[in-house]
Structures are given as structure tokens and as C-alpha cells.
Chain A
Amino acid sequence: MTSDNHQDNIIDVKDLKVHFPVTEGLLKKTVGWNYAVDGVSFSVRRGETFSLVGESGCGKSTTALSVLRMQDVTAGNIVFNGQDITHFSANKLRPIRRQIQMIYQDPFGSLNPRMKVGSIIGEPLRVHGQAKDKVKYRARVKELMRLVGLLDDMADRYPHEFSGGQRQRICIARALALEPELIICDEPVSALDVSIQAQVINLLMDLQERLGLTYLFIAHDLSVVRHISNRVAVMYLGQIVEVADRQTLFNDPKHPYTQALLNAVPEPDPELESSRPERLIIGEVPSVRNPPSGCRFHPRCSKAIAQCKIDRPLLNLHNQSLIACHLY
């Protein structure tokens, strides 16, 4: 299965399941389940950027929220720095939350419009009782602003005075306030204009180098993932289908879904595009409420064999990659 024996893992997720009840009627009777995350295992090594990619509904964001324990877990374990935090109480989670921070997709919705930027960035410090010394607190907020490339005299402005890219910098500064070890980035650049995306990606990479951060990166834009990641896990309908280092995954994808996904992304190069055969996968992602039997990708897979309809393939080591497919 996953590389459990790796010594320096910051996060180990083992057989994670998150099922949501589907309710109906006035009394909210449970009539079925959404199998949003269904048996996901992976490890994130200290100092790396580990990406979860997949289409909407594949469970990548739910998985990330579970790591932060912002989402109740149905089954499985989440081990952070060797500590099983799956069943920690809110009190016990507090010090853990200081070490895991999050950057959200929408820099417009994730900043309180009525708070000044300095106060937004300093809020984690106040919440965790690190703002008692006012002078130190103010200096720290200014330091954080400079760290993400904002001018420290902007602290008294409100979020609406900032552009999308600058707002995302504010979100990053806030996430850095408590000196976390792990930052979960949930689609951090997909709401930004193309010319601004590169600025934010570079900033994230600079900060990782300077502060030794680990990123759990959630994205659907594969060219961004390809640039920033060390290792990538591809998810489909609540399960991981392939895990590999970035070079292997993008140069030599093995799982039929990974292959189809990569082929569907148009390259910004007309010559390459005209020479590339178009291989579309048929159909759309089925509902997680009634996921297909066996391999969840089998109804759309061009290489499916009889076994795929019956047995769920588990992640297996194949050369350097982990692949969940009966063909390997």
C-alpha cells in the first residue's frame, strides 16, 4: 500500500472514509449515502508539495478538510507528526490547528469585509493568545505583510481596496501568522487572472524554501500542479487511482483515468495540439451516491476487462508509482 515506512511523514492518511447522509422530507430521514471519500490513503513528506487532483466531486476538498479535522470522518485515521488526531477533542486540536493552516480558493469570500487587513492577518495570533505584547504583535503583522509582498502601510485598509492577487497574499499572510508546518492550499490560484497566477505561485514556492513549509495542494488545473508539485495523487469518485512523482505522472501516466485527464487538458501550443490525437473519454462522472461497482472508472474506461466490474482495484506499487488498476 502506501509508503508507511517513510520516516519523515508529516501526514499519514489511512483508509479515510467520509460518507454524507442523503436526507429526504421534513424529518430529514436518511435515504442513502454519498460516498464522497471512500478509502483514501496517502502520506505527505515533510517539506514537499503533495497535490491532490481530480474533477469536481472527486473528494479532493473533502479529503483536505478531513486532514484539518474540519470535516467529520466516517472511518480511517489521520496521523499528524506521528500523533493520531482522528478523534481529538476540540481542545486537544487547538495546538494542532496552529501547525496546519489553510488557504482557500476565493480570496473575496474568505476575508471579512468589515475588518482591516492588519487585523485579519493578526487574528490567528489573537485567537491563540500571541497578541498580548502589542508592540510585538504589530511588528509581527508588518513582518508578515512584507513577507508576502504587501506594503506594511496597507494594514489599515479594507479588503475591498485590494485586487484578487493582493487578497490572496493577505490570505497567505494570515495562514503564515502562527508559523505552521503544513499549509493546505485549496485551489489557491484558480480564481485569479492568468497574469496574476504566476505571481502567487512564485510566492508560494519562495515561502516554502524560506520557511521550510509543507504544502498539501488541491487543484484541478494540471499545468499549475505540474509546476509546483513534488508528488501528485489523482482522485476519481472518492478514491485515489494513481500516486507518482510529478515527472513520472506527467510523462508516463499509467492509470487510464490519469491518461484521459491529461489528454483532455489542452496544451498552450498549437503545433503540439494539431499533432496530438484527440482521445476523449465518454460520459461524465457518475454520482457518488451510487458509485459503479468494482473499479469506479470502469463504465468510462476504454480498457476495462470483466474483472473491473467486480473487484475494486487497490493501490499497488508499479515501478515507482502507486496504481489502482487491474491492468498493472
Chain B
Amino acid sequence: MSLLSINNLSVSFQTDRGVVQAVDQVSFDVDAGETLAIVGESGSGKSVTALSILQLLGDAGTISDGQIVFDGQNLLDLPEKDIRNIRGDRIAMIFQEPMSSLNPVLTIGKQVAEPIWLHRKKTWNEALDQAEELIKKVSIPDARQRLDAYPHQFSGGMRQRVMIAMALACEPKLIIADEPTTALDVTVQAQILSLLKNLTTELNSALILITHDLGVVARYADRVAVMYGGRIVESATAAELYKHPKHPYTEGLMASIPTLDGEPGSRLQTIEGQPPDLLHMPAGCAFHPRCPYAAEICKHAKPSLKEVEANHFRACVGYESIS
């Protein structure tokens, strides 16, 4: 059985201009210890999917349908009190902005020790000792002194290390990292992602990595789910997806990335048009207005994910009618 199993998840947001269907009938599984990357452009629903797992959507967002089964338990059936016990304990989250996700008026030590004290019922001093160990583990030098430092005394990369220390504090079974390195420089990004990967491997934790960077996915993910317009359009192992993309959107995306093999001055392949406006989602397949293979049926029928090869899923009606 999978560690996390999401079935037909739908999330909508109430906005001034109308209701936005941010996530539409999304299903996927995450096994213990594996790294699943969810990729997509802005507005594809990847972050909302991640936030739904811990029910961090805020007042405007509503989970209208679906199940989120974690360790055999549907999280959507649990009262807020029980969800709070899971947050930071069995499921931890790392956010994009290490600047704004740490509390500026609390010391680093307090913030890292808090989940241990809260969830593991340790005394405060024991929790602080453990926090020191964690800070050492994420390769921050002078751990003991750094416990008393404040977030503003840390650089962006160091703050993201602190976020990782907090996330790992209770040895969670699942870590959700939402664009964890987007705000960082590339050399620091490489340090942070490799640290995250090594530590999750050590704990045998599963990792859901939300990103728009196809290079990051290639380096760190075992499996990939590609989202477009609130739905998963394709999912496969990383190696398979990059080698044999099967959805027209994934195919277009892979072809539009510049490579060194390209002739000097050659033009990139493009996906015509713009990502969809969530308030005016196209009928049928959301990608059909931009799809070079679009057929008449694509304008009406919403394709669902089907296994086209072993462990390779695709949601595309038009493709089936051609091939």
C-alpha cells in the first residue's frame, strides 16, 4: 500500500471575479521513501495540490471532492485538532520563501526545538539539545551559538537549511517541499537539494518536490507528475518521462528547453499561445487551444489519466485517436 494516496482531489477558490477550479480531479500515489516531483507552470495547480494535503488552503480555498489517504487514514475525515498533530510530525512542509516562513522575533533554536517539544513531549532542554544536533546535520557551523541567532542574521541558503532542520525534526514519513530553492542562487540550490535528498534517504522519508525547473526534476526525482490547468496530464518515472514524453504538452515542454547541441542561432521549438486563464478554462482538454494534435473531440471531452505503458500514465484523447 502506498504511503500517500490522493484520489480525485478537487479544490476550488472563491475570488472576486468568480470561482476558480485550481485542482480538478487529481489522483496520485507516493510510496515510502520515494521522491515524486510535481511539475507545472504558474497556475497549473501544483502548489495548491501540495497545500491541500495538510489543509493549509486558507479561507478562500475549499476541497470540494476527493480523498487524501495517508497511512491508511483519510485526512479529510479528521478534525482540525488531529490534522494539527500530523503537521510537522508525520508530514512536514518546506516552503519557497525561507525569508518569510521563519518567525523573525524567535531565535533559530526555539523554532527548531518547537516541533520536538510539541510532538515528542520532550522537556524544553532535551528539545534544544536535539535542535542543536539537527542544525549540525544540515551543515550549519557553530551549531550551539547559532541556536541563539535570529533569522535575519542568516543568509537565504542558511535559512533554507534551518527550514530543512525544522522539517526533519520529528523524522516525518513525508516531506512536501514547495519550490524549496527557487529563491536561491544555483550553487546554493545544488547544496540545499543534495542535502535534502541525502537526509530524506537517511530517514527513508518520502519527498514531494513541487517545482517548475525540469533540470531539478531530472537530478532529484524518481517519478514525475506533470500538471496543466489543474489536472495531471502525464506521469511516469523520471527517466521514462524525459526520454519518451507521451503527452503533447510534456513533449512541447521538453522540446522548448535550450540545449547545447542546438546549432548556434537555431530557434527553439515553442508551445504557441498562453497558459489558460483559470477563470475561463477551455472546455474539454485545457491544453487543446495550444495543442498541435488537437482534434474535434478534444474540445469537448475531458481526458482522464490512463496507463499507456507500464507505469506511464497519460491524459490525452486526441493522441489516442491518432496513434
| A264 and B41 contacting across the interface, CB-CB below 8 Å | no
Q: Within the complex, which residue of B41, B158, B191, B265 is in contact with A195, where a contact is CB–CB below 8 Å?
A: B41
Q: Does A133 contact B (CB under 8 A)?
A: no
Point out the residues of chain A lying under 8 angstroms from B186, CB to CB: 55, 220, 222, 261, 264-265
Q: Within the complex, which residue of A205, A206, A265, A285 is in contact with B215, where a contact is CB–CB below 8 Å?
A: A265
Among residues of A, the one whose C-beta sits closest to the C-beta of B228 is A195
Q: Does A268 contact B (CB under 8 A)?
A: yes
Given contacts A163-B274, A220-B186, A265-B186, contact A194 B238 (CB under 8 A): no
Q: CB within 8 Å of B: which of A149-169?
A: 163, 165-166
Point out the residues of chain A lying under 8 angstroms from B268, CB to CB: 198, 201-202, 227
A45 and B55 CA atoms in complex are apart in Å by: 55
| A246 and B185 contacting across the interface, CB-CB below 8 Å | no
Residue from the set A165, A198, A272, A281 with the largest chain B CB neighbour count within 10 Å: A198
Given contacts A193-B41, A202-B270, contact A269 B242 (CB under 8 A): yes
A198 and B274 CA atoms in complex are apart in Å by: 12
Residues 176-199 of chain A, each 1 if its beta carbon lies under 8 Å from chain B, else 0: 000000000000000001111111
Point out the residues of chain B lying under 8 angstroms from A264, CB to CB: 186-187, 189-190
| B253 and A194 contacting across the interface, CB-CB below 8 Å | yes
Q: Within the complex, which residue of A198, A227, A281 is in contact with B270, where a contact is CB–CB below 8 Å?
A: A198
Residue count of chain B within 8 Å CB distance of chain A: 46
Q: Does A224 contact B (CB under 8 A)?
A: yes
Q: Does B302 contact A (CB under 8 A)?
A: no
Q: CB within 8 Å of A: which of B249-290?
A: 252-254, 256-260, 262, 264-265, 267-272, 274-275
Residues 73-104 of chain A, each 1 if its beta carbon lies under 8 Å from chain B, else 0: 00000000000000000000000000000000
Q: Does B20 contact A (CB under 8 A)?
A: no
Q: Does B216 contact A (CB under 8 A)?
A: yes
Q: Does A307 contact B (CB under 8 A)?
A: no
Q: CB within 8 Å of B: which of A286-323?
A: none
A267 and B186 CA atoms in complex are apart in Å by: 12
Given contacts A202-B270, A267-B218, contact A194 B41 (CB under 8 A): yes
| A193 and B212 contacting across the interface, CB-CB below 8 Å | yes
- Please list the 8 inter-chain residue pairs (A to B) with the smallest Cβ-Cβ separation, ordered nearest first: A227-B258, A266-B215, A198-B256, A266-B219, A55-B185, A264-B190, A193-B41, A198-B268
Given contacts A194-B214, A194-B253, A195-B252, contact A285 B271 (CB under 8 A): no
A273 and B213 CA atoms in complex are apart in Å by: 14
Given contacts A195-B271, A223-B257, contact A266 B213 (CB under 8 A): yes
A55 and B271 CA atoms in complex are apart in Å by: 29
| A270 and B238 contacting across the interface, CB-CB below 8 Å | yes
Q: Does A280 contact B (CB under 8 A)?
A: yes
Point out the residues of chain B lying under 8 angstroms from A281, CB to CB: 187
Point out the residues of chain A lying under 8 angstroms from B271, CB to CB: 195, 198
| A260 and B187 contacting across the interface, CB-CB below 8 Å | yes
A152 and B237 CA atoms in complex are apart in Å by: 45
Q: Does B157 contact A (CB under 8 A)?
A: yes
Q: Does A271 contact B (CB under 8 A)?
A: yes
Point out the residues of chain A lying under 8 angstroms from B256, CB to CB: 194-195, 197-198
| B258 and A280 contacting across the interface, CB-CB below 8 Å | no
Point out the residues of chain B lying under 8 angstroms from A263, CB to CB: 190
Point out the residues of chain A lying under 8 angstroms from B221, CB to CB: 270
A226 and B263 CA atoms in complex are apart in Å by: 11
Nearest Cβ on chain A to B106's Cβ, whole angstroms: 23
Q: Which residues on B are within 8 Å of A, measured CB to CB?
A: 41-42, 155, 157-158, 185-191, 194, 212-221, 238-239, 242-243, 252-254, 256-260, 262, 264-265, 267-272, 274-275
| A268 and B262 contacting across the interface, CB-CB below 8 Å | no
Point out the residues of chain B lying under 8 angstroms from A223, CB to CB: 215, 257-259
Q: CB within 8 Å of B: which of A109-137?
A: none
Among residues of A, the one whose C-beta sits closest to the C-beta of B274 is A163
Point out the residues of chain A lying under 8 angstroms from B238, CB to CB: 270
Q: Is the interface of A mostly helix, strand, loop or mixed?
A: helix
Point out the residues of chain A lying under 8 angstroms from B220, CB to CB: 266
A197 and B256 CA atoms in complex are apart in Å by: 8
Point out the residues of chain A lying under 8 angstroms from B254, CB to CB: 268
A70 and B254 CA atoms in complex are apart in Å by: 38
| A285 and B219 contacting across the interface, CB-CB below 8 Å | no
A163 and B276 CA atoms in complex are apart in Å by: 10
Given contacts A198-B256, A223-B257, contact A56 B264 (CB under 8 A): no
Point out the residues of chain B lying under 8 angstroms from A202, CB to CB: 267-268, 270
| A193 and B42 contacting across the interface, CB-CB below 8 Å | yes
Nearest Cβ on chain B to A156's Cβ, whole angstroms: 20
Given contacts A265-B186, A269-B218, contact A205 B194 (CB under 8 A): no
Point out the residues of chain B lying under 8 angstroms from A194, CB to CB: 41, 212, 214, 253, 256-257
Among residues of A, the one whose C-beta sits closest to the C-beta of B239 is A270
Among residues of B, the one whose C-beta sits closest to the C-beta of A230 is B264
| B41 and A280 contacting across the interface, CB-CB below 8 Å | no
| B185 and A56 contacting across the interface, CB-CB below 8 Å | yes
Point out the residues of chain B lying under 8 angstroms from A260, CB to CB: 187
A247 and B260 CA atoms in complex are apart in Å by: 8
Among residues of B, the one whose C-beta sits closest to the C-beta of A285 is B185
Among residues of A, the one whose C-beta sits closest to the C-beta of B141 is A283
Q: Does A4 contact B (CB under 8 A)?
A: no
Nearest Cβ on chain A to B107's Cβ, whole angstroms: 21
Given contacts A273-B219, A280-B190, contact A268 B242 (CB under 8 A): yes
Q: Does A108 contact B (CB under 8 A)?
A: no
Q: Does A250 contact B (CB under 8 A)?
A: yes
Residue from the set B189, B243, B257 with the largest chain A CB neighbour count within 10 Å: B257
Q: Within the complex, which residue of B41, B239, B264, B269 is in contact with A246, where a contact is CB–CB below 8 Å?
A: B264
Q: Within the complex, which residue of B191, B257, B270, B274 is in contact with A280, where a contact is CB–CB below 8 Å?
A: B191
